[in-house]
Amino acid sequence: MNDDKLDPELYRIAREKGTEPAFSGKYLNEHSKGMYRCAVCGAELFSSDTKFDSGTGWPSFSEPANTKNIILKKDNSEGMERTEVVCKNCGAHLGHVFDDGPKEKGGKRYCINSTCLQLEKTNETT
C-alpha cells in the first residue's frame, strides 16, 4: 500500500512513531479469535490466543505470532529506554515491548497500537 493511501492516524503512528491515546483503540476490548495482521501490509503479527488484558489502555500480547515478522529495535526517545516493535515486512511502527507481562506466559508484554492492527477473525462456529 502506498503511504499516501494510509489513513492519517495510521500514518501518524506507523510512519511517525506516534501512539494512540490510551483506552481509545478499537481492539482494546476485542476478544474474538483470529489473527491480528499489520494494518499497512497485512503481515501476520499477533494471534488472539496471546492477547491479554493488561489494564494499560493498549492491546497487549504475550508473544508475536511469528518472530520472523517483527523486528525489535532499541528506542531511547522521550527519555525512556524502550524496545520498539516494528513490522519487518513494511517497517511500520507497531508499539513497544515491556518485561512486565504475565510470568506464566514468558513475562513479555507487547503493547501494540490498535490502529496498526487489522483483525482477521477466525470462522469458528464452536
Given the rule CB under 5 A, which residues bind Zn ion? 38, 40-41, 43, 87, 89-90, 92
For residue 65, the minimal CB distance to Zn ion (Å) is: 13
For residue 43, the minimal CB distance to Zn ion (Å) is: 5
Closer CB to Zn ion, residue 92 or residue 111? 92
Asked if residue 45 lies in contact with residue 69, where contact means CB atoms within 8 angstroms, the answer is yes
Closest residue by Cα to residue 112 from 16, 14, 43: 14
For residue 118, the minimal CB distance to Zn ion (Å) is: 10
Distance CA 39, CA 41 (A): 6
111 catalytic residue (yes or no)? yes
Closer CB to Zn ion, residue 40 or residue 119? 40
C-alpha distance from residue 32 to each of 58, 102, 115 (Å) = 16, 20, 17
C-alpha distance from residue 2 to each of 25, 40, 57, 72, 120 (Å) = 23, 9, 29, 24, 21
Closer CB to Zn ion, residue 10 or residue 38? 38
Active-site pick, 38, 87, 111, 116: 111
Question: Which residues participate in catalysis according to the annotation?
Answer: 111
